[in-house]
Structure 1
Amino acid sequence: MYSDQEIEIMGFLPAPDEYFTGKAWVKNYVFPDAETDAYVGEVMFAPGTRNNWHTHGSNQILLIREGVCYYQEEGGPVQQIEAGGFVNILPGIKHWHGASPDSVMIHTAIGINAEKGLVNWMDPVSDEDYNGK
């Protein structure tokens, strides 16, 4: 795990607690505006941290930079995606993502067609769902 000083030097800021179980940090690169209809940023998840169930109005693309990403779509199994892998999440798919229990995970998140809505937050992910039970 990175120290608080290392996280600050890397440019990450604390993520909103209400959308995560555990500790997470965000670093934003591109916000939607009149010319760029997309969002690009990174999220760092402490070991065992995951975000709430949510959907997107358009595709979200996750590029896994470090660690192992746990990813689940509603009704499906928990998938483990290694660093260097990616997920293309289709519009309206209820899902969550987070870090494996034993390592930090960092992903780059790309939200396209932001005018369709970036994220619709829902309920926290249960320990049972996180553990694939």
Structure 2
Amino acid sequence: MKALIMLALTCAAGANTQLPARAAPLPVVDVRSAETAPVSIGSTETFTGTVRISTPFQALPPGHAGGASVSFEAQARTAWHSHPLGQILVVTSGIGLVQQDGQPAQILRPGDVVTIPANVHHWHGAGPGGAMTHIAIAEKENGSAVTWQDKVSDQDYLAAVKSTGLGSAPVGSPSRARQLMGDVAPKLAELTDQVLFGEIWERPGLGKRDRSLATVSALIAMNRPEQLRSHLVLGLQNGLTQLELSELITHLAFYTGWPNAVSATGVARDVFQRKPAP
């Protein structure tokens, strides 16, 4: 009898014993390579010119923010639009423009952060002389993060360009490559626009500022003053400063030769005198 009682107590105790609950999986940091991120072309209904949208992202719950990296070719821009909960832009390369409806246009440079309030009509895009890339971040309200309006006309874009002092090149004018080579070597001009600047300069491994720095260095080393001239201008548009370019020439004098540096100094002086410092 005593043995039966002990067995019953043992069984009861076992029945009341609960297995430990499984621990919830710990959240982990996820890194997505830019090389494998999808790239899409901006719709002609909401953009003017060529716009590439890459590395789209969305915050994990309970976050609501999302966005993407947006690259505008020269003169490309968004249509007028607004965001129900506002937007933040972080310029990563190039020179661009942003304009609020009824307000003057403002210049965008690498490192600039733009805070756009909720429901404010605005547009943004690249300047007339080169591409511009920014990270765009916004939150959704009722499943929507943006409301699109009319496209920015060429006249309004050109007026914004002139008002900021970025230049007065006609909108839709031929690229620099087509101006220089289009009549003699149209295929070379096409490859320059579509492959060199359309693909190589758009690769995510280097920003445009760094690519300009490397290109200017190579042209100084090879003593190519004509090509150097246009790339000094492009370098300024991509965020390099006159002080940085001057220091680069001095540095390269010890590696590429004094004559090359002296020639580059003359080209830089002409470019600096014609283009205001950022």
Match of 2:56 in 1: 29
Q: CA deviation at 1:35?
A: 3.1
Q: CA deviation at 1:78?
A: 1.2
When structure 1 is superposed on structure 2, of 36-45 and 49-58 the one drifting more is: 36-45
Percentage identity across aligned positions?
34
Moved over 4 A (4+): 8-11
CA distance in 2, matches of 1:65, 1:89: 17
CA RMSD of aligned residues (A): 2.0
1:51-84 C-alpha deviation (Å, 9 max, x unpaired)? 1000000120000001112100001111111111
CA distance in 2, matches of 1:99, 1:10: 23
Which of 117, 141, 144 aligns to 1:115? It is 141
Indicate yes or no: 2:145 matched with 1:98.
no
Asked if the contact 1:24–1:43 (Cα under 8 Å) also holds between the matched residues in 2, the reply is: yes
State which structure, 1 or 2, has the greater radius of gyration over its C-alpha atoms.
Answer: 2
Compare the two structures and name the one with the higher strand fraction.
Answer: 1
Count residues with an aligned counterpart.
125
1:2-58 C-alpha deviation (Å, 9 max, x unpaired)? xxxxxx888532122211110001014323665331112110001000010000001
Which of 72, 97, 100 aligns to 1:73? It is 100
Question: Gapped runs of 5+ residues in structure 2?
Answer: 1-34, 161-278
CA distance in 2, matches of 1:125, 1:51: 7
Q: TM-score, normalised by structure 2?
A: 0.42
Asked if the contact 1:78–1:130 (Cα under 8 Å) also holds between the matched residues in 2, the reply is: no
Instruction: Name the aligned partner's letter for residue 55 of structure 1.
Output: S
Indicate yes or no: 2:75 matched with 1:48.
yes
Asked if the contact 2:80–2:123 (Cα under 8 Å) also holds between the matched residues in 1, the reply is: yes
For residue 128 of structure 2, give the secondary structure of its aligned residue in structure 1: coil
Asked if the contact 2:37–2:55 (Cα under 8 Å) also holds between the matched residues in 1, the reply is: no
CA distance in 1, matches of 2:157, 2:37: 28
Give the direction of change, closer, same or farther, for the CA distance of 1:103–1:11 in structure 2 (3 Å limit).
farther
Q: TM-score, normalised by structure 1?
A: 0.84
CA distance in 2, matches of 1:109, 1:101: 21
Q: CA deviation at 1:95?
A: 0.2
Which of 28, 41, 54 aligns to 1:14? It is 41
